[in-house]
């Protein structure tokens, strides 16, 4: 059961993660999928290689069940790509990069580098829009 559920999540991840809304879908589905996959792979430790390979292939068979519907869903909402990518980038910066930088570097340096990055990205956006 664990292998089948991980395989379904991998199918969803592989199809949605490479298209428009994949950035948002990734925030919801990819992290749990990788955790389940890691747990599943740990179960194969200590098993003979041939048997582990067989179970690995067998447990990956359900992947296409969610891959096609996820791809069709994402293609239907492809107009949301800019907002989805912006949301994903903001989530990564706000939940991972800035807290880590704040805890590991001087606060003035973090603020300065964040401001510089913001100005550079804004300039790039304005340049590309022109």
Looking at the fold, whether 69 and 28 belong to one and the same domain comes out as yes
Angle at 29 (CA atoms; ends 25, 32), nearest 5 degrees: 155
Looking at the fold, whether 19 and 37 belong to one and the same domain comes out as yes
3-state secondary structure 9-60: HHHHHHHHCCCCCHHHHHHHHHHHHHHHHHHHHHHCCCCCHHHHHHHHHHHC
Distance between CA 90 and CA 98 in Å, rounded? 10
Looking at the fold, whether 9 and 64 belong to one and the same domain comes out as yes
Looking at the fold, whether 72 and 35 belong to one and the same domain comes out as yes
Looking at the fold, whether 96 and 50 belong to one and the same domain comes out as no
Contact predicate 43/2, CB 8 Å: yes
Looking at the fold, whether 51 and 91 belong to one and the same domain comes out as no
What are the tens digits of pLDDT across the range 33-51?
555 555 555 555 667 778 8
What is the percent of the chain where pLDDT is above 90? 23
Q: How many domains does the chain have?
A: 2
Domain that holds residue 32: 1-76
Looking at the fold, whether 5 and 56 belong to one and the same domain comes out as yes
């Amino acid at each position: 059961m664990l292998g089948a559920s991980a395989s379904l999540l991998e199918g969803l991840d592989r199809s949605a993660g490479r298209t428009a809304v994949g950035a948002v879908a990734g925030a919801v589905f990819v992290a749990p999928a990788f955790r389940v996959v890691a747990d599943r792979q740990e179960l194969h430790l200590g098993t003979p290689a041939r048997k582990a390979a067989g179970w690995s292939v067998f447990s990956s068979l359900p992947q296409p069940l969610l891959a096609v519907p996820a791809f069709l869903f994402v293609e239907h909402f492809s107009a949301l790509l800019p907002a989805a990518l912006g949301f994903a980038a903001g989530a990564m910066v706000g939940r991972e990069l800035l807290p880590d930088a704040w805890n590991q570097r001087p606060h003035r340096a973090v603020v300065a580098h964040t401001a510089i990055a913001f100005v550079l990205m804004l300039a790039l956006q304005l340049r590309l829009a022109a």
